[in-house]
């Protein structure tokens, strides 16, 4: 077990404090790994069916008629490969494939995808099946002592190839279950990693060949980044000119009026001065809000967790914040995550009618995942003054993705994944 | 003097109205956007309009366009445009219809009440009130003009101050010279620009227009 070495835990209490997070992390890693392997198993089963179809088409080719079926089969293979690319992209960096299905076997992309199909339908299937079977065996064998006595006598109750008819045998099966459980926790994360690495290798473009896709995507996101930047500067310019400056001009107008009334009507002067002071105070408040809109100081000082707690504390809707990010991300990523959360919280307070909200932040495979969920009425859409269009642009500027799930009746979840560039 | 104010910022609009009313000026209407402003001009037929450049819906140059439109409908209307910042394009657009009864000032000048009221009265009387910042910016971008090129440095200085809208006494005070010297410079400017000796006020305006024309081309 990857426990802290004794030198790092001088007091016994320290060791017990270290144990629980380690157990929680191991449990979470296992669940993530099982989710990945389960998804991989689904793909592998589809791949097996598709591989059989490809074999049928190949046989049909021998008699001539199959040639007509080749492009359709290649399209199906490409569709499944893209599905798998998207799935892998959710657990790590994006996997880029050809954007159109290859139409001929002469295309190297087609041959790569067929190679992947063959691998996924055979080795991939066995591998992911084993991964998913481990916890099933663990549960079945660990609970064996509970349901063995309930079996009607004479029923074939052997979990494995040997027959079990004594409590000693039952205990041995339970012990075996413990072994399966240990193996599940210990091996599945590695199995999921290996599986993803193999799939990625076969599904990515061959090294050094087709970077034009990536270049096109980066060009587009770069343009979006610059757009977002200009829109942001425009917003700041507006709030300075139309808000703060007007407050200051009002102050000078009232001060000017006060000076003029000093000789004429000293009684009115005090009221004018008070209004001038009010206007100056409003100017200060607006300056503060403009500055906070540029980059919240707390983000720099306290990091994302501190800044989000502040955001939650000032939200009219009760909000819990759960941030588990062991390292600091680049400042621009943290700022974007903060803006997304701030915009989402504004929408929650303004439109959702929710009674509770939750902000979750995790770091997975070099990507910062932020989710804001509320229990409101749902039905949220992009556009319509929700500010989500601006949020999407900012997110894309960071090579990120934004997903909004908001069925009528709720709940609403806004999920954002940002590339941390590490 | 009947005044209409167009300013979208409620506090500033009230502040302006309060200031002008305290000076016993007749603020007949206030508006918070270009449409309301044009309606108020049609209804009240004021002597002067004070217009903010940035107004809804886009907060760019609505005020300038509304001012130009108001002067098209009512050519005698004097307009004092207030701007958050100096933008030569705005000045050019405003001056395209002539500089008579036209003012273009930075917003913060309003706080200097005496000078602001002076500018307001000048504009209402058919004069000009161009912000020194605008004049300075226009000066640095001036294009050659045969008549203007004949002016001496001092005469150009006097002409720039005339463009700001200053009277002879004020120009004399600003340049620390006598009234007589200013008169001499101005006569020389009129001569060099070939302006025939008709009405003195008209020649003044024409000279300023010529100057602003030259710098906006």
For B112-149, what is each residue's pLDDT tens digit? 999 899 999 989 988 888 888 877 776 665 556 667 77
Range of the domain at A99: 18-203
Average pLDDT over residues A317-330: 89
Does the beta carbon of B57 lie under 8 angstroms from any beta carbon of chain A? no
- The reply to whether A164 falls in a domain is yes
Range of the domain at B74: 2-131
Q: At B172, is the pLDDT very low, low, confident or very high (cuts 50, 70, 90)? A: very high
Average pLDDT over residues A355-373: 91
Does the beta carbon of B12 lie under 8 angstroms from any beta carbon of chain A? yes
H-helix or E-strand spanning residue B111: none
Helical pair B88-95 and B62-73, crossing angle rounded to 10 deg: 10
Same domain? For B125 and B146 the reply is no
Average pLDDT over residues A346-359: 88
DSSP structure string for A148-182: TTTSPTTS---SSSS---SHHHHHHHHHHHHHHHH
**CA A312, A314, A315, A316: dihedral to nearest 10 degrees?**
140
Q: Are A246 and B12 within 8 A, CB to CB?
A: yes
Q: Are B12 and A252 within 8 A, CB to CB?
A: no
The CA-based angle A369-A398-A26, given to 5 degrees, is 25
Same domain? For A44 and A184 the reply is yes
Contact A421/A252 with Cβ under 8 angstroms? no
- The reply to whether A7 falls in a domain is no
- The reply to whether A265 falls in a domain is yes
Contact B191/B113 with Cβ under 8 angstroms? no
Does the beta carbon of B112 lie under 8 angstroms from any beta carbon of chain A? yes
Residue ending a domain, among B131, B155, B170, is: B131
Which is higher by pLDDT, A220 or B204?
A: A220
pLDDT of the residue at A13: 44
Same domain? For A382 and A317 the reply is yes
Residue ending a domain, among B112, B131, B150, is: B131
Same domain? For A129 and A225 the reply is no
Same domain? For B88 and B46 the reply is yes
Tokens encoding B102: 């036209």
Nearest CA in chain B to A240: B84
- The reply to whether B137 falls in a domain is no
* Domain count for chain B: 2
Residue ending a domain, among B81, B102, B131, is: B131
> What is the rounded distance in angstroms from the CA atom of residue B100 to the CA atom of residue B95?
9
> What is the rounded distance in angstroms from the CA atom of residue B12 to the CA atom of residue A161?
89
> What is the rounded distance in angstroms from the CA atom of residue B59 to the CA atom of residue B65?
12
The model carries a pTM of 0.56
Residue ending a domain, among A233, A259, A294, is: A294
Smallest Cβ distance to B113: which of A245, A260, A275? A260
Same domain? For B38 and B126 the reply is yes
Q: Are B12 and A250 within 8 A, CB to CB?
A: yes
Tokens encoding A17: 């404090």
Same domain? For A62 and A184 the reply is yes
Contact A44/A128 with Cβ under 8 angstroms? yes
Average pLDDT over residues A384-397: 74
Does the beta carbon of B116 lie under 8 angstroms from any beta carbon of chain A? yes
Same domain? For A195 and A94 the reply is yes
The CA-based angle B84-B89-B92, given to 5 degrees, is 110
Same domain? For B19 and B47 the reply is yes
């Amino acid at each position: 077990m990857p426990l802290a070495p004794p030198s790092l835990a001088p007091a016994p209490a320290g060791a017990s404090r270290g144990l629980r997070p380690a157990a929680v992390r191991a449990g979470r890693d296992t669940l993530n790994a099982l989710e990945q392997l389960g998804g991989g198993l689904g793909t592998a089963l589809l791949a097996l069916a598709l591989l059989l179809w490809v074999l049928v088409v190949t046989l049909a080719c021998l008699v001539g008629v199959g040639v007509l079926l080749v492009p359709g089969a290649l399209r199906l293979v490409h569709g499944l490969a893209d599905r798998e690319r998207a799935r892998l992209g959710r657990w790590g960096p994006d996997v880029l494939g050809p954007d159109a299905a290859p139409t001929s076997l002469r295309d190297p992309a087609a041959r790569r995808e067929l190679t992947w199909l063959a691998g996924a339908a055979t080795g991939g299937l066995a591998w992911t099946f084993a991964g998913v079977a481990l916890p099933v065996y663990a549960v079945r064998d660990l609970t064996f002592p509970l349901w063995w006595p309930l079996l009607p006598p004479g029923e074939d109750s052997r979990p494995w190839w040997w027959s079990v008819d004594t409590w000693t045998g039952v205990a041995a099966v339970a012990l075996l279950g413990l072994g399966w459980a240990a193996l599940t926790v210990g091996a599945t994360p590695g199995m999921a990693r290996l599986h993803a690495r193999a799939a990625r290798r076969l599904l990515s473009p061959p090294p050094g060949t087709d970077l034009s896709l990536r270049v096109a995507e980066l060009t587009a996101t770069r343009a979006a980044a610059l757009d977002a930047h200009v829109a942001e500067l425009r917003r700041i310019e507006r709030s300075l000119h139309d808000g703060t400056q007007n407050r200051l001009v009002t102050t000078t107008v009232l001060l000017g009026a006060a000076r003029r009334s000093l000789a004429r009507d000293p009684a009115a002067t005090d009221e004018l001065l008070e209004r001038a002071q009010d206007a100056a105070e409003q100017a200060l408040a607006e300056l503060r809000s403009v500055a906070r809109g540029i980059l919240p100081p707390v983000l720099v000082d306290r990091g994302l967790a501190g800044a989000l707690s502040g955001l939650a504390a000032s939200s009219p809707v009760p909000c819990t914040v759960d941030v588990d990010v062991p390292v600091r991300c680049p400042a621009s990523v943290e700022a974007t995550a903060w803006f997304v959360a701030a915009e989402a919280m504004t929408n929650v307070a303004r439109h959702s009618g929710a009674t509770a909200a939750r902000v979750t932040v995790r770091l997975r495979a070099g990507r910062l995942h932020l989710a804001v969920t509320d229990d409101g009425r749902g039905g949220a859409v992009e556009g319509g003054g929700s500010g989500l269009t601006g949020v999407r642009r900012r997110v894309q500027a960071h090579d990120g993705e934004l997903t909004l799930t908001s069925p009528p009746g709720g709940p609403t979840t806004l999920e954002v994944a940002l590339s941390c560039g590490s | 003097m009947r005044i209409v104010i167009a300013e979208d910022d409620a506090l500033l609009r009230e502040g302006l109205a309060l200031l002008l009313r305290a000076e016993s000026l007749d603020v007949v209407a206030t508006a918070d956007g270009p449409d309301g402003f044009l309606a108020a001009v049609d209804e009240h037929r004021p002597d002067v309009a004070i217009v903010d450049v940035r107004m809804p819906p886009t907060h760019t140059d609505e005020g300038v366009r509304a001012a130009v439109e108001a002067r098209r409908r009512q050519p005698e209307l004097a307009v004092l445009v207030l701007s958050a910042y100096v933008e030569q394009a705005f000045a050019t657009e405003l001056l395209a219809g002539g500089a008579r009864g036209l003012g273009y000032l930075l917003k913060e000048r309003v706080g200097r009440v005496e000078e602001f009221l002076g500018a307001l009265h000048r504009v209402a009387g058919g004069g000009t009130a161009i912000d020194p910042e605008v004049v300075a910016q226009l000066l640095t971008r001036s294009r050659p003009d045969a008549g203007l090129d004949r002016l001496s440095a001092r005469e150009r200085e006097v002409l720039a101050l005339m463009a700001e809208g200053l009277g002879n006494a004020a120009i004399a005070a600003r340049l620390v010279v006598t009234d007589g010297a200013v008169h001499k410079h101005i006569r020389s400017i009129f001569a060099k620009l070939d302006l025939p000796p008709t009405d003195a006020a008209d020649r003044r305006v024409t000279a300023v227009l010529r100057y602003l024309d030259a710098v906006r081309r």
